[in-house]
Chain A
Amino acid sequence: MDSVIALFNSFVNDWPNLSLAIGLILLPLLPLIISVAMYVWWERKVIGWMHVRMGPNQVGPLGLAQAFADVFKLLFKEITVPEKASTFLFYLAPLIALVPAMAAWAVVPIGDKMAWSNANAGLLYLLAMTSLGVYGIVLAGWASNSKYAFLGAMRAAAQVVSYEIAMGMAIVSVLILTGSLNLSDVVQAQAGSKGFLEWYWLPLLPMFVIYFISGVAETNRAPFDVTEGESEIVAGFHVEYSGSAFAIFFLAEYANMILVAFLSSVLFLGGWLSPLQGWGLGILSAPGWWWLFAKAFVMAFLFLWFRATFPRYRYDQIMRLGWKVFIPITIAWTFVAGCLAFFGGVTIGPGGTP
């Protein structure tokens, strides 16, 4: 018994350190949530312009406060639980969708020596976290006790598992060229004197394209949004959700989109490195977090552009694209990456200083 009390006491004495760590962990969440709100506003604005209409323009200047107005509307709405739904899982599902979307941010490096966790197995951790997100969708579909929600969940499970393979292979090719699972090392390995030609998008161009398309499929966004497919299965897995429970699904989806945008910038577009690195242009050649954010903004914009441009894929065509097109290409290009690494086509490991 004494040992238990001693254990407890030391745990309490350790509390200041622990609470500091927990505070640091929670630090990125608020900016993330605000950027999700702004991203939703930007999406509606961009799609509005592409459709030759105004988009939100009533609440606040340029309609900027529209996203916050929507959030408060959702928070005040009643959450309805369908009859015969599995209540516990029904409430748990949005949280399970949200937690991996937030947890994955722990290893994303913002700048040189700027990351919440400089984990050695960062890439693997990312794969693990992104693969967990599907549980929220599957559980929501099952717990709702509704056939449309269930159909959406089934589609989501099959789609996410299929595209994860292509995504994983793309990440494998990056780590072959880097020689490390650490995300900071991935960016350092893309440093060099030839500007943006040093980045991995060039030797791994097919992988870059496949990674981003798989990212779109993995986040269930248009043109791969058969999980929601409002013209076929109403709103898919979240048809029974309302109010704040729906808001959490929304938050998780957009946080995942921003994550994919950041990750494709880190893995293939040199992260915080300047596109003009090594050309001696002063501040323009210097690395900095602003480059990462600019790249991520462009990648995030692509999501919106896709949504306004492409019609939805048919389900069997999604499966064909994933299994019969992407996976063979990724396997072949992993071999090419191995050859590049073996015969010295690219520099392996943290290379020259920018």
Chain B
Amino acid sequence: MTTQLVIFYFFATVLVASALAVITLKNSVHAALSLVLTFFTAAGIWILAEAEFLGLALIVVYVGAVMVLFLFVVMMLDIKPESMREGFIRFLPVGVIVALVMLVEMLSLIGVKALQAQALPPNPALADGSNTAWLGKALYTQFLLPFEIAALILTVALIAAVTLTLRKRSGVRTQKPSEQVQVQRNERLRVVKMASEGKPGESA
């Protein structure tokens, strides 16, 4: 148990430090990498709390896919740190107001929850042995409708994102791989039988 506690404090320290690094580092690629570390450590803490499915899903989805694409974009943009600082003072009041509103909202949420504080019911996942199996059963029986609605919304968002960025450009010559791979030998190559030719004076 104490080993777990030591590991938890280690993870928690790394988590807080890397989260701070995300917003303080000047280089945007370094900041994105700190975000990767933040996600990874958060997943570690969740696994430590025996929520292995959520922890691994966080790594697969966010670290393995979302952050790779994020890093891809950040690297391509080649943002100069100086240009990032421009208008810092000008936008500071807006930022402070947004931060304050968020703080008040969070505090009120926690306060409301604290007023109705009650003992948590025993963890249903532990009774079953496997967290993953329990999560699957709960999602596909008890919460089937919300789950399907969430899936539908995500699909719609995906299609919308693709249609928004899809532009039909006319007059562009592009390769069509689906046609290219169907090419036959006969269409490209013709073997011609002919008599051999020599330079003038040479015998054929």
Most buried by B among A14, A138, A164: A138
* Interface residues as binary, A265-307 with B (CB distance below 8 Å gives 1, 0 otherwise): 0000000000000000000000000000000000000000000
Contact, CB under 8 Å: A120 / B52: yes
Interface pick from A23-31, A129-137, A225-233, A237-245: A129-137
- Tell me the complex Cα distance, A7–B122, Å: 28
Contact, CB under 8 Å: A142 / B65: no
Judge whether A183 is part of the interface by a CB distance below 8 angstroms.
no
Contact of B181 among A121, A132, A317 (CB under 8 A): A317
**What is the chain A residue whose CB lies nearest that of B130?**
A120
Contact, CB under 8 Å: A138 / B68: yes
Judge whether B63 is part of the interface by a CB distance below 8 angstroms.
yes
SS class, residues of chain A in contact with chain B: helix
Contact of A154 among B36, B64, B72 (CB under 8 A): B72
SS class, residues of chain B in contact with chain A: helix
- Tell me the complex Cα distance, A153–B53, Å: 30
Interface pick from B54-62, B97-105, B113-121: B54-62
Judge whether B160 is part of the interface by a CB distance below 8 angstroms.
no
Q: How far is the CB of B75 from chain A (nearest CB, A)?
A: 5
- Tell me the complex Cα distance, A131–B40, Å: 12
* Interface residues as binary, B25-53 with A (CB distance below 8 Å gives 1, 0 otherwise): 00001000100100000000000000011
Contact, CB under 8 Å: A160 / B68: yes
Judge whether B178 is part of the interface by a CB distance below 8 angstroms.
yes
Contact of B65 among A89, A124, A131, A317 (CB under 8 A): A131
Judge whether A58 is part of the interface by a CB distance below 8 angstroms.
no
Q: How far is the CB of B92 from chain A (nearest CB, A)?
A: 30
Q: Count the A-B residue pairs with Cβ separation under 8 angstroms: how many?
A: 85
**In chain A between 131 and 158, which residues have their CB closer than 8 angstroms to a CB of chain B?**
131-132, 134-135, 138-139, 142, 150, 153-154, 157-158
Contact, CB under 8 Å: A142 / B59: no
Q: Are A316 and B177 also in contact (CB < 8 A) when A128-B64, A161-B68, A164-B65 are?
A: yes
Number of chain A residues whose Cβ lies closer than 8 Å to a Cβ of chain B: 35
* Interface residues as binary, B128-139 with A (CB distance below 8 Å gives 1, 0 otherwise): 001110000000
Contact, CB under 8 Å: A128 / B56: yes
Contact, CB under 8 Å: B175 / A131: no
Q: How far is the CB of A166 from chain B (nearest CB, A)?
A: 13
Chain A residues, Cβ within 8 Å of B132? 120-121, 124, 181
Q: Are A131 and B181 also in contact (CB < 8 A) when A11-B2, A157-B69, A161-B68 are?
A: no
Judge whether A73 is part of the interface by a CB distance below 8 angstroms.
no
- Tell me the complex Cα distance, A320–B12, Å: 42
Judge whether A91 is part of the interface by a CB distance below 8 angstroms.
no
Contact, CB under 8 Å: B6 / A7: yes
Contact, CB under 8 Å: A124 / B69: no
Q: Are A131 and B60 also in contact (CB < 8 A) when A7-B5, A120-B132, A121-B132 are?
A: yes
Chain B residues, Cβ within 8 Å of A142? 29, 75
**What is the chain A residue whose CB lies nearest that of B69?**
A161
Most buried by A among B53, B63, B71: B71
Contact, CB under 8 Å: A127 / B36: no
Chain A residues, Cβ within 8 Å of B60? 124, 127-128, 131, 168
**What is the chain B residue whose CB lies nearest that of A7?**
B2
Contact, CB under 8 Å: A161 / B65: yes
Contact, CB under 8 Å: B64 / A131: yes
- Tell me the complex Cα distance, A124–B75, Å: 29
**In chain B between 168 and 189, which residues have their CB closer than 8 angstroms to a CB of chain A?**
175, 177-178, 180-181
Contact, CB under 8 Å: B57 / A124: yes
Contact, CB under 8 Å: A121 / B56: yes
What residues make up the interface of A, taking CB atoms closer than 8 Å to B? Answer: 7, 10-11, 14, 18, 89, 119-121, 124-125, 127-128, 131-132, 134-135, 138-139, 142, 150, 153-154, 157-158, 160-161, 164, 168, 181, 314, 316-317, 320, 324
Closest CB pairs A-B (n = 3): A131-B64, A128-B59, A10-B2
Give me 12 other A-B pairs in contact (C-beta within 8 A), A11-B6, A124-B53, A150-B75 excluded.
Answer: A10-B2, A120-B130, A120-B132, A124-B57, A125-B56, A128-B56, A131-B65, A138-B75, A157-B68, A164-B64, A314-B177, A317-B181
* 18 contacting pairs across A/B (C-beta < 8 A): A18-B3, A120-B131, A124-B53, A124-B57, A124-B60, A125-B56, A131-B59, A131-B64, A132-B59, A132-B63, A132-B64, A138-B72, A154-B75, A157-B68, A157-B71, A161-B65, A164-B65, A316-B175
